[in-house]
Structure 1
């Protein structure tokens, strides 16, 4: 399984960017997402940016990753998924009946 990690752009180079996640810096290819600027958030898979994220979405992914770690550690993980607690699961719009 491959997880996408939200990373923050620190510096831009030709076709790549120096990005950081929780203190770890990596050079990430930006060829799939186009031009980026310092401060932007990117969803990164195997050192390749696959999507630009807004700050709220980056925080949501960070919380989910923290929740997975809490579950693996045997700790309470529900607070990390507050947006999912108390509601029925929903299919994304493109998978719902009648979607085109």
Structure 2
């Protein structure tokens, strides 16, 4: 299984950008999203930026990935998913 991860553009040009998440940095393609300004959050999947993210969505994804890592280490992870736990199960709008 492959996961997309939120990353921040550190530097870039018309076709690619150096992006960072924590200590990790990687060069990613911008062909699907176009040139992006430094500081822009993008969803990176297989070294390609596939979507520009809003700050809050990027933060939610970061929390979820941190929670997943904590669960894999056998640590408490519930706080990473507080927004889901508090709201309970919900059907997507198109299924209601």
- The reply to whether TM is greater than 0.5 is yes
- The equivalent of 2:37 in structure 1 is 37
For residues 7-29 of structure 1, what are the alpha-carbon distances to aligned partners after superposition, in whole Å with 9 as ceiling and x for unaligned?
A: 00011123111111112111100
Q: Which runs of 5+ in 2 are unaligned?
A: none
Q: Indicate the RMSD between aligned Cα atoms, in angstroms.
A: 1.2
| TM-score, length basis structure 1 | 0.89
Instruction: Specify which structure has the higher proportion of helix.
Output: 2
Using the alignment, how far apart are the partners of 1:37 and 1:59 within structure 2? 18
Using the alignment, how far apart are the partners of 2:34 and 2:93 within structure 1? 26
Q: Which runs of 5+ in 1 are unaligned?
A: none
Please tell me whether the aligned partners of residues 13 and 35 of structure 2 are also in contact (alpha carbons under 8 angstroms). no
- The equivalent of 2:22 in structure 1 is 22
- The equivalent of 1:4 in structure 2 is 4
Displacement over 6 Å in runs of 4+:
none
The Cα shift of 1:31 comes to 0.6
Using the alignment, how far apart are the partners of 1:16 and 1:93 within structure 2? 36
- The equivalent of 1:68 in structure 2 is 68
Using the alignment, how far apart are the partners of 1:32 and 1:92 within structure 2? 27
Please tell me whether the aligned partners of residues 14 and 35 of structure 2 are also in contact (alpha carbons under 8 angstroms). no
Equivalenced residues, count:
96
